[in-house]
Amino acid sequence: MKPARWHDPANKLFPRQVGFTAPPHDFDAAPSDFLRMAPASVGVHGRLLHLPQYDHELSQRADNFHLLEDVVHCMANAGADAVGQVGTNWVHCNGTTPEEIAEFCDRLSDKYETAFHMAGYCLVEALRELGAERIAVNAVYYWPDWRDGITRFLRQAGFEVLYSGNFVDQGFYATQEEVNALTWIFPGSLAEASMVRVAEQAPTADAIVVTGMPNWRNDQGLPQRAVSLAPSLEGTIGRPIVASDLALYWRLFKTLGVAPLGPQGRLLTRLQG
């Protein structure tokens, strides 16, 4: 069980405390992005999964799925109120269904008295929150097996997937090797171009899903994720964007009972009243 002292807010550094975990060998932007938009009452901590050898393969995630419980246990012991798992693919790497992932998250949340949210399942929850039924998937840098896995998962959740394609499918790169060489950081112009391309492939989609954690360079050359670009991109395509990062942040803010600060995309704006 969570140590009893953390049930008294007076013992905590912040009234609301969030823990993040990300795949091995990635310095992840989630703690920084989340903290930038959070009220001062929210504190953030990060913990990477540790594997000496890691090549971002689905089989490696399946083999080390048990490490997620270790993270929740550690964060609960440190007084976290909620834990967010970064990385969309973990929900489908074992061939699991949305129902099985929901049960897994509920079990850990109850066992360690700390809400646990997985980015891939947050996509499902966010789409349901928006009332979306027909969706298009921008699979960005995803390898084909990643793209196909999350597409299956979303269909199992009851959504009609009208289109699902990565940057190679969309015609922006000739090979997956070219995409991989960029290490998940892409030209800023590709953000809008890619969203427009996907929207054109599915003109009747209720929302555009963005998988993974792609980064696009801004005018200063700094990488930015979808959460920073959502308001402008939604204005361009005229539909909600439900990306893995902002869906995870939305779910965490909802659990904490606070709203993000500043201008946000349609999903996060719902928390601002």
Local confidence pLDDT in tens for the 273 residues of the chain: 899 999 999 999 999 999 999 888 888 999 999 999 999 999 999 998 887 887 778 777 778 889 999 999 999 999 999 999 999 999 999 999 999 999 999 999 999 999 999 999 999 999 999 999 999 999 999 999 999 999 999 999 999 999 999 999 999 999 999 999 999 999 999 999 999 999 999 999 999 999 999 999 999 999 999 999 999 999 999 999 999 999 999 999 999 999 999 999 999 999 998
Which residues, in sequence order, are CB contacts of 244 under 8 Å at separation 6+?
A: 86, 87, 88, 119, 120, 122, 123, 210, 211, 212, 213, 226
135 bridge partner residues: 161, 207
pLDDT at position 57 is: 81
CATH class in words for 124-242: alpha beta
CA distance 43 to 28: 16
Inter-residue contact 115 to 82 (CB < 8 Å): yes
CA distance 163 to 259: 32
pLDDT at position 125 is: 98
163 bridge partner residues: 136
pLDDT at position 49 is: 84
- The domain 4-119+246-272 is placed in CATH, from the list 3.90.1200.10, 3.30.70.1450, 3.40.50.12500, 1.10.10.10, at 3.40.50.12500
Q: Write down the domain spans for the chain.
A: 4-119+246-272, 124-242
Q: Quote the pTM value.
A: 0.96
SS3 177: helix
CA distance 262 to 100: 35
CA distance 93 to 96: 7
Domains 4-119+246-272 and 124-242 fall in the same CATH topology: yes
